[in-house]
Structure 1
């Protein structure tokens, strides 16, 4: 376990937990393995201790520990009950709780029987599947956790961002490390694009070989423990082939940001001999592929984004897109080759919008597409993402869909071009500046 002094702060998440402290809802932290959920629990524990809560009032259990491996739900209940102090507020922290069958019965009993504040984590959406969320209906709040944002990446590697004067009298952002070595912001962004945002990589440093070993461990654990083993525990037989699962993962990783249908994936796998079509217009293969894709979404490995018809004001059922939770994992899977930089940038923007609290969809306007419609409360933003706007054809391609949207909401094009400009009310912003703007 990390010592208190070694824990890196994730204030955007910690502040959410603090805001719900001593409230009735169970605080449920979800996200892919190794994205920082356990450290967040420890940060909250440290916060409670610093605010005067006695250590005896805090119960911590990690269900990946061998100590609790064979624990039943009854054992769980009496283990906690035996440590509850009468007439004291108890703080209960349960890490990777989805590994315990029937956990929801015990957790619900804790709420009823004790004066307690409950925090749990899970690396699979099955933790909050329909049956469980119904069981705990209205009694939990979900805090979705992701790998590091670019701003967090800067902080985790002990960099600081400063502004310096250029020869032309303008202000320019630079990065300084703890040895006072200066870097251009684009250098650090390149590192982020290569290594991704899994927090544990900061422990091994920006070393490709060590990072690959670390990412391989995450990948293996997600595939084996959170998908294949979980299917066995559920008693289902839909997802049993690790080779097929890996093939689907590679296909989705290679096609992030592209319009994808499950039937298309099925047809490709049938042609490669990895799936039996059985002569029924691909129905069995599409059904099988959908099961595998759902499992990848439940393990928070891939996220799906739906299409929204702007003029028709309705979501469309066909041709969604998938984004991988971390570009470092994508590089691990596909290799550090000349990747499709535009789609990788899209991937980063998608998760940044989610972190900032937006609901995100693909926009369809007539036969054109807008990369993202981001909405929250009374705010709506249309965004296009591209590597560069220098080429006139690319510029027209990115601007034309935004011009066709006839409303007064903000319209932005994000690119790697230097500086900020404006075209008929559409802002053209450097993507790196946008990422560090909040």
Structure 2
């Protein structure tokens, strides 16, 4: 029944190589996760590179782990051929049985299911085969809520999640042939890396754009992509009768990244209930379009009642869908740094001191806390005074020994900063690998 579709989706059975693309920074973690025997769930916004990452893993298994190609099954559950069967809970088992009949694999089997959220019964199928200890699973999905709820209820204690983001500066530099692990080469390529940072702020890191198209067409692609996610991942979940209301709210949010808002203020602005606004924002977040950031407070009640901030999954997408102003560049840098912090898996908050000074980010990893400001530059004395004062207030109240300021380019002629404050160029921080970034962020703890 599915034999032809299976063969078309698995060219590795005929020993045809994949165009595996740029190696992602999270690839080694993915390999480690697979080695645990747990079910691995790869989540992330559409077009961020989840399917490419899966193909890279298939190539790795075949060429470095000597797994027989016939022992690897890949299936994209978003395929149009499967549309009539999405309410049939038996269909995944039938696909698997067709695979066994075609390939007759011997030994351990690796099953890769792409975009599992299109089949509500996928956790039952995966759990039943996983418990045989003969099949390893990697699943991907673009809807965080569906994956997380299904995994919690059906796959508790059996799964590990890995979120994939658009390209980082480090990954983008690697795609351009820069050896990002060679400090000498990175030092020689600083002008080129700074140019790539400018491109990343303008066009973002979605692979289809960052690797191919850097002009107005890029914004057309990014705008179409955002609308596709809204229509295919957000509207069906909410049953929204007026998709244009969703788009207007989304455009407003990405036009105001890093700014404070409340559900009640958005409710008045759009003529919707607080409950509807909250549901819409949760749906945007579950589709990985935006992230909400809470106030950092040891009082949960205060945190819940306080205003929030919002950031876009991608600076290019924010530019494509939002209203652009000259003052945007500092907020775009803040957005870029935020996504990089989320890539590290950190809990991220903003902070308001007792004197009402605002700090961009409070970073939390276990019990460790770090304090960070992000701004375009500190050349203006008043800007420097404001940023440093806010950072010092937060450091004192949270008992942090050091604070971090990330800028596009420090002014080397400026007076030394106050004790405990570290200023670093954005490109330098973003070119660090995961381990070096975490050490830098929490080195005083």
TM-score (norm 1): 0.85
Output one character per residue of 1:325-377: Cα deviation in whole Å (capped at 9) or x when no partner.
00000111125552521211111111111222322111232122211111224
CA shift at 1:154, angstroms? 1.6
The farther-off stretch of 318-327 and 393-402 is: 393-402
1:118 aligned onto 2:105? no
Q: Is the 8 A contact 1:63 1:99 kept in 2?
A: yes
Aligned match for 1:152, one of 161, 171, 196: 171
Aligned match for 1:435, one of 430, 436, 441: 430
CA shift at 1:387, angstroms? 1.2
CA shift at 1:378, angstroms? 5.7
* Partner in structure 1 of residue 80 of structure 2: 66
Structure 2 CA distance for aligned equivalents of residues 337 and 399 of structure 1 = 26
- The aligned runs of 1:152-231 (5 Å cut-off) are 152-159=171-178, 173-174=188-189, 183-206=191-214, 208-231=215-238
1:332 aligned onto 2:320? yes
Is the partner of 1:141 in helix, strand or coil? strand
Structure 2 CA distance for aligned equivalents of residues 59 and 292 of structure 1 = 36
**More helix, by proportion:** 2
TM-score (norm 2): 0.84
Structure 1 CA distance for aligned equivalents of residues 411 and 192 of structure 2 = 15
Structure 2 CA distance for aligned equivalents of residues 23 and 381 of structure 1 = 31
* Partner in structure 1 of residue 389 of structure 2: 400
Aligned match for 1:79, one of 89, 95, 98: 95
Return closer, same or farther for 1:39/1:382 CA change in 2, 3 Å cut-off: same
1:21 aligned onto 2:34? yes
Structure 2 CA distance for aligned equivalents of residues 196 and 90 of structure 1 = 37
The farther-off stretch of 75-84 and 341-350 is: 75-84
CA shift at 1:104, angstroms? 1.3
Structure 2 CA distance for aligned equivalents of residues 134 and 101 of structure 1 = 13
Aligned match for 2:303, one of 313, 316, 321: 316
* Partner in structure 2 of residue 37 of structure 1: 50
CA shift at 1:21, angstroms? 2.2
* Partner in structure 1 of residue 443 of structure 2: none
CA shift at 1:92, angstroms? 0.4
The farther-off stretch of 335-344 and 424-433 is: 335-344
Aligned match for 2:369, one of 352, 366, 380: 380
1:290 aligned onto 2:290? no
1:412 aligned onto 2:404? yes
Q: Is the 8 A contact 1:327 1:348 kept in 2?
A: yes
Q: Is the 8 A contact 1:212 1:332 kept in 2?
A: yes
Aligned match for 2:146, one of 119, 127, 131: 127
Structure 2 CA distance for aligned equivalents of residues 425 and 313 of structure 1 = 29
The farther-off stretch of 298-307 and 60-69 is: 60-69
Unpaired segments of 5 or more residues in structure 2? Answer: 1-8, 434-445
Return closer, same or farther for 1:74/1:193 CA change in 2, 3 Å cut-off: same
Is the partner of 1:205 in helix, strand or coil? coil
Give the length in aligned residue pairs: 405
Return closer, same or farther for 1:101/1:131 CA change in 2, 3 Å cut-off: closer
Q: Is the 8 A contact 1:371 1:384 kept in 2?
A: yes
Structure 2 CA distance for aligned equivalents of residues 152 and 423 of structure 1 = 33
Unpaired segments of 5 or more residues in structure 1? Answer: 166-170, 176-182, 232-236, 276-284
Output one character per residue of 1:268-294: Cα deviation in whole Å (capped at 9) or x when no partner.
113xxxx4xxxxxxxxx2111111111
Return closer, same or farther for 1:17/1:80 CA change in 2, 3 Å cut-off: same
Structure 1 CA distance for aligned equivalents of residues 28 and 301 of structure 2 = 34
Output one character per residue of 1:122-157: Cα deviation in whole Å (capped at 9) or x when no partner.
001132243542221111111011111111122224
* Partner in structure 1 of residue 6 of structure 2: none
CA shift at 1:113, angstroms? 4.0
Is the partner of 2:45 in helix, strand or coil? coil
Return closer, same or farther for 1:63/1:289 CA change in 2, 3 Å cut-off: same
Output one character per residue of 1:192-216: Cα deviation in whole Å (capped at 9) or x when no partner.
111100011145332x133123213
CA shift at 1:419, angstroms? 5.9
CA shift at 1:380, angstroms? 2.9
The farther-off stretch of 3-12 and 212-221 is: 3-12
Q: Is the 8 A contact 2:219 2:319 kept in 1?
A: no
Structure 2 CA distance for aligned equivalents of residues 120 and 430 of structure 1 = 37
CA shift at 1:100, angstroms? 1.2
Is the partner of 1:414 in helix, strand or coil? strand
Structure 2 CA distance for aligned equivalents of residues 314 and 426 of structure 1 = 31
